[in-house]
Each structure stands twice: as C-alpha cells, then as structure tokens.
Structure 1
Amino acid sequence: MAFSVEYRTSALRLCLVLLFAFPAPAIITGAAVVYRVGDSAGWTTIGNVDYKLWAATKTFQVGDIIRFEYNPQFHKVMQVTHRHYRSCNTTHPIATHTSGNDSISIASHSHHFFLCGVPGHCQSGQKVDINVLHNNSPLPKTPSLAPPPLTTTPTPSGANHMLSGFEEMVLRIGLLSFAFLYFY
C-alpha cells in the first residue's frame, strides 16, 4: 500500500499529537500488590491494631505479597493451620519467620493463617487470617482507608496498578514505532 508523502507526514503528526496530548492507558492488569500487615502500625501488640478488620478491608489475590514488618526482638510470624489459629497454638507451625521484614507470597486461593509466636501476643489479638477468594470479578481492588498498598512489578495475579514513568515511556515509544512502521 503506497501512501503519499503528505499523507504519511500528516498521519505521523496525528499519531504524535495523540501519543503525547493524551495520557497513556493508566491501568495494567496483572500486578502483584504488596500489603503491609497492619498498614502503618505494622505487626505489633501496641496500639490495639484490629488485624481482623484490617484483613476484611482488603481483597487479596493469588500472587499478592503479605509483608510483616516488626521488631524481631519482640515478635515473630508463624503460619499455622486454622485449628492452631483459633486456639493460638504455636507448637506445630507450617512456617516461622523471624527477620522483622518478612514477605510472603500468596500462592493459593484459601485462608492463610498467621499469628505472633511470642507467648500472649496471639491471645491479645496479634493474628491475621488472609482469605484469598476465587474472584472473577472485573472490578479493581477496593483500597482501604489506610495508606495504599505498595505495588511491585507486573505479575500474573489479576491486580491493577498505575503505569510507572518508565513503563509509560516504553508504551509511548512502542506505539510511536508502530505508527512509524505502518505509515512508512
């Protein structure tokens, strides 16, 4: 298909105007969301953090990251069964985390139960049930009233995130390259 020079120039100018006058698509699906347990309070017994309420305000997806931030001298994180979660039993954990900055990737649709393994902490409410539902809804995640979760690089989890400056630049260059190749 042969286009005249004037047509190609006009088409390329139009593509440039459209690429830089209007924002690129701002949402990409498939980004894992990093949730800081307890939001700004973190994983603690101070301040009466309601971890049940905290988890209820989130829509967890497979691939999301649950980050526990705490002072390792005073706390630890144990992943346990539902029975041990209900009774605050720390004798047979599925996993124990003690770094003070533990990131746990959610790999399945189910309940994931965590509690603090320090005696008395679970009984005082330092435990959380991360419930990952089978959700095929096209609606984006509902943010909590607390600070928004951190986002990481795109993964196939079905979450949404804003394009970074670099991602938007790459998208624009790709669209411009396509237009240039198509019209020339």
Structure 2
Amino acid sequence: MRMGLFFLVITMALWGFSLGAVHKVGDSAGWSPAADYQKWASSNTFHVGDTLVFEYNKQLHNVKQVKREDFESCNAASPIATYTTGSDSISLKSSGDYYYFCGFAGHCQAGQKVHVKV
C-alpha cells in the first residue's frame, strides 16, 4: 500500500507540473482596445507551461507576436507569428519576454498590446 501511495503522489506531482495556468488576456474585456493590458499583465504571474487565451471578434482584430522593437513602435511588418481565429490559445514554452499586439490599423497605437514576462 505504501508503494501505491508513493506512485500516486509522484504521478500527481508530475501531472501538476505539466499543467499550467490559463490566462484569458484582458479578463472579461477580452482582446479589444478597451482593456488596460499593462495593468492586466502586471496583475498576473506567468510561468513556463501557462497558456494565453486571446478572445476577440476576428472581423475586427487579430494577434501578432512580435519582437520588442516592433512592439514599441507598433510595427506589424515582420511578426514572429500571426493568429486570426478569434479564440487563440498560445502556450508559453520558455522563460523570457513575449510581445503581442493587434495588427489592425491604429489598434496597437490605441493600446491593444501586451507584454508578458515569463
């Protein structure tokens, strides 16, 4: 019986490490120019294995992952990745800084951008 309990504890521990938190970007506001993403990001803690979920109207928005320089200047010309489904789940696979913004004209400049530090 002790051996069974040992394996159960080990299995639960390993399973727990493989499941990360799910963060809905912007919480109830979702992915739109109406949210304060700097405040949202600073009120969350992100870890390797967590997932970011961007929910939005795909007719009005998208999500572009970009380099820091492009994030700061809202330059959508050379994204690392572009997401367009309206319900995008992005896994944070390594530590570091991740930068996202909406690539529709004027949205990034209006504040629809988020920097996540893992």
Shorter-chain TM-score tier: 0.7 to 0.9
Q: TM-score, normalised by structure 1?
A: 0.55
> Identity rate of aligned residues, in percent?
50
Give yes or no for the alignment of 1:34 onto 2:22.
yes
Give the letter for the 2:115 counterpart: D
Counterpart in the other structure of 1:158: none
Q: Aligned-pair distance for 1:108? A: 1.0
Q: Aligned-pair distance for 1:53? A: 0.5
Q: Secondary structure at the match of 1:68?
A: strand
Q: Secondary structure at the match of 1:79?
A: strand
Counterpart in the other structure of 1:51: 37
From 49, 59, 74, the equivalent of 1:88 is 74
Larger Rg: 1
Aligned pairs for 1:51-130 within 5 A: 51-130=37-116
- Runs ≥4 residues deviating over 3 A: none
Give the letter for the 1:131 counterpart: K
Residue by residue over 1:34-89, the C-alpha shift from the partner in whole angstroms, topping out at 9 and shown as x without a partner, is 100000110012xx311011000011000000000000000000000000000000
Aligned length: 104
For structure 2, the residue ranges without an aligned partner over 5 or more in a row are 1-12
For structure 1, the residue ranges without an aligned partner over 5 or more in a row are 1-27, 133-184
Task: Report the RMSD for the aligned CA atoms in angstroms.
Answer: 1.3
Q: Secondary structure at the match of 2:89?
A: strand
Residue by residue over 1:81-130, the C-alpha shift from the partner in whole angstroms, topping out at 9 and shown as x without a partner, is 00000000000000000000000000111000000000100000000001
